[in-house]
């Protein structure tokens, strides 16, 4: 399963000038029906070729232009799909992503890539974290509603209790010698430790000391974050870690069993069941926040005002409808907006542009079904100022 990262999104946005082809399609994941994928894919290529004919600057050799994409069209590739496939083709440039969201079949030809269908993977409004706890293994995972997106490597994160406490004890012994000896009371969290492999007088105190070190390593990462954190581990470990924890958005309920033998899908399913109610409540809170902000003059559903705000980093939260396009062109230097009922050469989806700019400036994008847009508006935003 492939997830589009923010860094890759920037690469797509910053693609050099030239005609850019964006293609989206739903995919069949298993069984004999996967043959439909190849048929749908070939139809997308034909649609893209037909749209290219409208442009004077089209590539001279269409077959060569689409060659990197066409190389994917084999049985092996179609047997390993997720819910959707996104492809991006330009002169000398090709990227594709198998994504866990059902995509509407779509082809867009423009001077930039059309990325809005992937916004649900990047918006951050359903991001959460899973911290797996064990005396011999600690992992921090980032996830969203669709799956676990990555394992986060944290510098200095201890993953073995014996090793971490032995190193910590050695460091403290050196510090005590330098200070003339501070005694065992200087050990944060208390407890006794007699070296690796030896008996411990108080296992809970050693675990607390270990988790204090884990929490310390995670502190900088979680600074200024607000996403839920789900703990996963055998039941007696979770309350000890909660005692050491300083992150304000830890979820009280955790996964209370050994997760070492679980697949990523199984672990995600358990964690999502815990955090989903929070996100559902958060959606309503976001809508309420928009209405309050709009009444106070800090919100708008005017496309021109929202587009300008997105480009200049004013948008704190943005609502855009999935599967809807508003074609036109915005010149950020002249602050001029042109809109067209149908896509014209050189146009872009203005909703796509607003969403991308909002993400780049650290805002949150809510990609929602059209019927759940605030006040049935085509776009809506809460401004920072």
User: What's the confidence (pLDDT) of residue 186?
Assistant: 34
Give 211-237 as a 3 state SS string: HHHHHHHHHHHHCCCCCCEEEECCCCH
What would the pLDDT profile of 225-271 be if each residue is shown by its tens digit?
A: 889 999 999 999 999 999 999 999 999 999 999 998 999 999 999 99
Q: Where is average pLDDT lowest: 104-108, 176-180, 321-325?
A: 176-180
Question: Comparing C-alpha atoms, which of 282, 271, 278, 226 is closest to residue 131?
Answer: 271
pLDDT > 90 fraction of the chain, expressed in percent and rounded: 53
Residue 361 has pLDDT above 60, yes or no: yes
* Band of pLDDT at residue 133, cut at 50, 70 and 90: very high
pLDDT of residue 36 exceeding 80: yes
Q: What is the mean pLDDT of residues 314-339?
A: 90
Chain center to CA of 42: 30
Residue of 237, 173, 174, 248 lying closest to 206 (CA atoms): 237
Which residue did the predictor score with more confidence, 345 or 314? 314
Residue 323 to residues 30, 120, 368: CA-CA distances in angstroms?
A: 26, 12, 9
Q: What percent of the chain has pLDDT over 70?
A: 88
- pLDDT for residue 185 is more than 60: no
Closest CA to 110 of 279, 299, 329, 289: 329
Segment 90-114 shows an average pLDDT of 89
Q: What is the pLDDT of residue 170?
A: 55
- The widest CA-to-CA distance across the chain, in whole angstroms, is 82
Mean pLDDT of all residues in 130-158: 92
Q: Which pLDDT value is given to residue 236?
A: 93
Reply yes or no on whether the pLDDT at 359 is more than 80. yes
At residue 63, does pLDDT exceed 50? Answer: yes
- For residue 130, pLDDT over 80 is answered with yes
Q: Which of 152, 148, 126 is closest to 138 using CA atoms? A: 152
Predicted local distance difference test score (pLDDT) of residue 3: 58
Distance (Å, whole) CA 235 – CA 242:
12
pLDDT digits (tens, 9 = 90+) for 186-206: 333 333 344 444 444 578 899
| pLDDT tens digits along 293-308 | 999 999 999 999 999 9
Q: How far apart are CA 78 and CA 95, in angstroms?
A: 16
- Higher-pLDDT residue of 173 and 365 is 365
């Amino acid at each position: 399963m492939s997830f589009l990262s923010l860094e890759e999104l920037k690469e797509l946005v910053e693609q050099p000038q030239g005609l850019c082809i964006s293609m989206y399609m739903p995919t069949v994941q298993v069984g004999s029906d996967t043959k439909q994928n190849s048929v749908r894919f070939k139809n997308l290529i034909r649609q893209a070729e037909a749209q290219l004919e409208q442009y004077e600057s089209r590539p001279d050799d269409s077959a060569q232009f689409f060659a990197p994409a066409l190389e994917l069209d084999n049985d092996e590739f179609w047997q390993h799909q997720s819910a959707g496939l996104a492809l991006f083709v330009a002169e000398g440039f090709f990227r594709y992503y198998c994504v866990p969201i059902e995509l509407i079949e779509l082809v867009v030809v423009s001077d930039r890539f059309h990325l809005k269908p992937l916004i649900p993977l990047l918006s951050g409004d359903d991001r959460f974290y899973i911290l797996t706890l064990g005396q011999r293994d600690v992992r921090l995972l980032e996830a969203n509603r669709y799956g676990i997106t990555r394992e986060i490597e944290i510098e200095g994160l201890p993953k073995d209790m014996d090793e971490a406490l032995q190193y910590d004890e050695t460091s403290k012994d050196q510090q005590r010698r330098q200070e003339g000896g501070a005694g065992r009371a200087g050990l944060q969290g208390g407890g006794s430790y007699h070296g690796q492999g030896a008996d411990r007088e108080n296992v809970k105190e050693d675990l607390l000391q270990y988790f204090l070190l884990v929490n310390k390593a995670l502190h900088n990462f979680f600074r200024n974050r607000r996403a839920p954190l789900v703990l996963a581990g055998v039941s007696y470990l979770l309350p000890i870690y909660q005692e050491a924890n300083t992150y304000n958005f830890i979820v009280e309920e955790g996964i209370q069993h050994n997760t070492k033998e679980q697949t990523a899908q199984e672990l995600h399913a358990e964690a999502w069941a815990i955090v989903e109610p929070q996100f559902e409540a958060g959606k309503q809170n976001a809508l309420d926040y928009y209405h309050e902000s709009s009444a106070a003059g800090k919100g708008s559903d005017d496309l021109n005002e929202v587009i300008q705000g997105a480009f200049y980093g004013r948008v704190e939260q943005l609502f855009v409808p999935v599967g809807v396009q508003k074609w036109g062109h915005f010149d950020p230097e002249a602050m001029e907006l042109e809109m067209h009922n149908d896509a014209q050469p050189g146009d872009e989806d203005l909703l796509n542009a607003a969403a991308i700019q909002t993400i780049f400036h650290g805002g949150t994008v809510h990609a929602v079904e059209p019927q759940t847009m605030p006040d049935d508006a085509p776009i809506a935003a809460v401004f920072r100022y």
